[in-house]
Amino acid sequence: MTAGYYAAVDWGTSSFRLWLIGEDGAVLAERRSAEGMTTAARTGFHAVLDGHLAAVSAPAHLPIIICGMAGARQGWREAGYLETPATLGAIAGNAIAVPDVDRDIRILPGLAQRDDRHPDVMRGEETQLLGAAGMLDDGRHLVCMPGTHSKWVRLSGQTVDGFSTFMTGELFEVISKHTILSHAVAEADAIAADSAAFAEAVTRARERPALTTNLLFSVRAGQLLHGLSAADAKARLSGTLIGLEIAGALASAGSVDGICLVGSGRLGALYRSALESQGLTVRVVDADEAVRAGLSAAAQAIWPL
Amino acid sequence: MTAGYYAAVDWGTSSFRLWLIGEDGAVLAERRSAEGMTTAARTGFHAVLDGHLAAVSAPAHLPIIICGMAGARQGWREAGYLETPATLGAIAGNAIAVPDVDRDIRILPGLAQRDDRHPDVMRGEETQLLGAAGMLDDGRHLVCMPGTHSKWVRLSGQTVDGFSTFMTGELFEVISKHTILSHAVAEADAIAADSAAFAEAVTRARERPALTTNLLFSVRAGQLLHGLSAADAKARLSGTLIGLEIAGALASAGSVDGICLVGSGRLGALYRSALESQGLTVRVVDADEAVRAGLSAAAQAIWPL
């Protein structure tokens, strides 16, 4: 077994993931928990991190590289933002060190687009992007990172030209839970990536985005008048919101050489299916691999062997 | 004082309104409460109604005309739907009588559009529409009825050709309460109808509806990066959703002779401002007057003097 080189942490709003990385780049151990920023802000970031480091028997002076919401104003220590257009190589150089701790802990900055008409921010996705960019050629890519707040990034080689956030995942969540559609979708299982109702909803919202909230209500009306099933109702809700996102992202993307989808699991499969249903060819990069590659690139820049 | 002729009730999901009407059409008494369908389904529709009738000293055999969610499946007694295209005159004729009660109580039906691609339903607004139609000429009108679920109706004389529901009000509510934007808008007062941020948001969403959920996230980013005020954040959230609704409603309306806005209070003023900001001329009908006029037209058809 190689010695530990560093630990990499992806610290989101509601999730915590840690990888212990060896000098040869191998993953020696992994931890996942629900102690995201929201939980850690109450119980203490240092305590949460120490607990996981102890669980993987990390050496006392192992350095730690962190990305995500731990660097938000309401996180552990504010890590600020790099401004677009931004070079991905500048991420590591702008990491901040957590003071008054007994090891070297760095938190990576987010990205900000200080544009009067299109202000936008990301925190965590810049590190996925850094990792994904290492797997792409130097052309102009449109990078889709689906999630609670989906990010669509215009990338030229290693430069982020700009990006747009769409509140798709969060809207799906609150509409499913808190609106009249909650009854329609309550009993449904996870959406199948090959659902015909999903693909149809993606197409209709992409073709007529102005009708989005009408398409959403028609899920309820379809259930009342045509006995629409819970599975199809949920697929249509999701497809409508993702179709709207795709319409908006492509409309503001300009010309690109290709689309890269940084996703994993069910959500990645659903976005891939949505994009392909629109005749788009996508290069898929696993989101977990991308964030680990990004943390690794930053760690090697900060602590060269 | 004239004798009571009938009592008219607008029984919504979360509100109850009753007017005691004299033989000359005058309003003799009025009651308003929060005992909408949701509450009455627990405490009993009959008991709620009797309480309000006693409070206005209604005669023992006074007939009662009701519109709204009391006629839903989960209401007092299901009143079914008239199907589009529908003549407004048919509403009264399709009222159902509540059985096993000691007075003549009728509940008006809703409207349903049994269209595979555009299924839609309304319940309560058909009565507003019946009242508003009596104040319009016989041309082709696009009637906007803003609310939790805004209705846009294509009306030719007394015939409803079709309609579309937009979930604008409900989305505004859940986004304000349950998403990341809740922090941005929490401290804001009611939106001023002449808010520049509101009008700008209406225009941007109408021009680029595909960007809706990006425009919503930019409210959060604008607060983080540019110190956007809570008042402007709330105005932009509302303006974005209303602009999206207007874009969709006009796109599917076809050619009309005029737009009629059936609204009242703050929401009516906001929609009027939004429509006028888009260069549209609107005839405004007060929503309270419209529903009373509709209930009155139905009552006179059922119980002619």
> What does the pLDDT average to over B267-294?
97
User: From CA B72, how far away is CA A29, in angstroms rounded?
Assistant: 57
What are the tens digits of pLDDT across the range B106-147? 999 999 999 888 999 999 999 999 999 999 999 999 999 999
Q: Considering only CB atoms, which chain B residues are within 8 Å of A253? A: none
| 8 A C-beta contact, residue B7 and residue B65 | yes
User: From CA B239, how far away is CA B206, in angstroms rounded?
Assistant: 10
- Exposed / middle / buried, residue B187 (Cβ in 10 Å: 0-12, 13-18, 19+): exposed
| 8 A C-beta contact, residue A9 and residue A49 | yes
CA-derived radius of gyration, chain A: 20
User: Nearest C-alpha of chain B: how many angstroms from A243?
Assistant: 9
What are the tens digits of pLDDT across the range B145-183? 999 999 999 999 999 999 999 999 999 999 999 999 999
Do the strands B81-83 and B110-113 form a parallel or antiparallel pair, or are they unpaired? Answer: parallel
Domain A4-136+294-302, what architecture?
2-Layer Sandwich (3.30)
pLDDT for position B179: 96
User: From CA A201, how far away is CA A215, in angstroms rounded?
Assistant: 8
Angle between helices B196-207 and B230-251 (to 10 degrees): 40
Both tokens of B180, joined, read 């990341």
Collapse the DSSP code of B37 into the 3-class scheme (helix H, G, I; strand E, B; otherwise coil) and give the result. helix
User: Nearest C-alpha of chain B: how many angstroms from A59?
Assistant: 38
**Cα angle A147-A150-A156, degrees, rounded to a multiple of 5:** 125
Which H or E run includes B185? helix B181-185
Interface ipTM above 0.85: yes
Query: What are the contacts of B40-45 at 24+ separation with CB within 8 A?
Result: B40/B11, B40/B16, B40/B70, B40/B76, B41/B74, B41/B75, B45/B70, B45/B75, B45/B76
- Exposed / middle / buried, residue A138 (Cβ in 10 Å: 0-12, 13-18, 19+): exposed
Q: Considering only CB atoms, which chain B residues are within 8 Å of A174? A: 174-175, 178-179
Closest CA to A185 of A232, A226, A222: A232
Do the strands A105-107 and A64-68 form a parallel or antiparallel pair, or are they unpaired? Answer: parallel
Name residue B224's amino acid: L
B218 touches A at CB < 8 Å: yes
Q: How confident is the model at residue B201 (pLDDT cuts 50, 70, 90)?
A: very high
pLDDT for position B261: 98
Q: Is A170 within 8 Å of B179 when comparing Cβ atoms? A: yes
Name the residue among A118, A218, A247 with its Cβ closest to that of B118: A218
Partners of A142 in beta bridges? A154, A259
Q: What is the DSSP string of A226-286?
A: H---HHHHHHHHHHHHHHHHHHHHHHTT---SEEEEEE-HHHHHHHHHHHHHTT--EEEEE
Instruction: Pick the residue of A213, A218, A236 with the most B CBs within 10 A to test the interface with B by mutation.
Output: A213
* Length of chain B measured in residues: 305
Q: Considering only CB atoms, which chain A residues are within 8 Å of B226? A: 114, 116, 119
Q: Residue B70 contacts by C-beta under 8 Å, 6 or more apart in sequence?
A: B9, B11, B37, B40, B45, B76, B77, B79, B107
User: Nearest C-alpha of chain A: how many angstroms from B215?
Assistant: 8
Q: Would you tell me how many other CB atoms lie within 10 Å of the CB of residue A42?
A: 8
Domain B4-135, what architecture?
2-Layer Sandwich (3.30)
CA-derived radius of gyration, chain B: 20
What are the tens digits of pLDDT across the range B39-82? 999 999 999 999 999 999 999 999 999 999 999 999 999 999 99
Q: Considering only CB atoms, which chain B residues are within 8 Å of A222? A: 119
User: From CA A233, how far away is CA A235, in angstroms rounded?
Assistant: 5
pLDDT < 70: residue spans in chain A: 1-2
pLDDT for position A252: 87
Q: Considering only CB atoms, which chain A residues are within 8 Å of B180? A: 149, 167, 170
B118 touches A at CB < 8 Å: yes
Closest CA to A123 of A51, A64, A73, A89: A73
Q: What backbone torsions phi and psi does residue A22 show, to the nearest 5 degrees?
A: -85, 170
Q: Which residue has the tokens 């928990």?
A: A33
What are the tens digits of pLDDT across the range A90-108? 999 999 999 999 999 999 9
Instruction: Pick the residue of B14, B204, B218 with the most A CBs within 10 A to test the interface with A by mutation.
Output: B218
Q: How confident is the model at residue B1 (pLDDT cuts 50, 70, 90)?
A: very low
User: Nearest C-alpha of chain B: how many angstroms from A73?
Assistant: 10
User: From CA A215, how far away is CA B290, in angstroms rounded?
Assistant: 27
Q: What is the DSSP string of B202-252?
A: HHHHHH-GGGHHHHHHHHHHHHHHH---HHHHHHHHHHHHHHHHHHHHHHT
Q: Residue B16 contacts by C-beta under 8 Å, 6 or more apart in sequence?
A: B9, B10, B31, B32, B33, B34, B35, B36, B40, B48, B52
* Alpha-helix runs per DSSP H in B118-167: 125-133
DSSP A208: -
Question: Does the pLDDT at position B2 exceed 60?
Answer: no
| 8 A C-beta contact, residue A159 and residue A204 | no
Domain ranges of chain B: 4-135, 166-285
Establish how many alpha carbons lie within 13 A of residue B276's alpha carbon, considering only the half-sphere containing its beta carbon.
13
Q: Is A213 within 8 Å of B245 when comparing Cβ atoms? A: yes
Q: Considering only CB atoms, which chain A residues are within 8 Å of B236? A: none
Domain B166-285, what architecture?
2-Layer Sandwich (3.30)
Closest CA to B107 of B140, B141, B76, B139: B76
- Measured CA distances, A128 to A123, A153, B167, B276 (Å): 10, 11, 35, 45
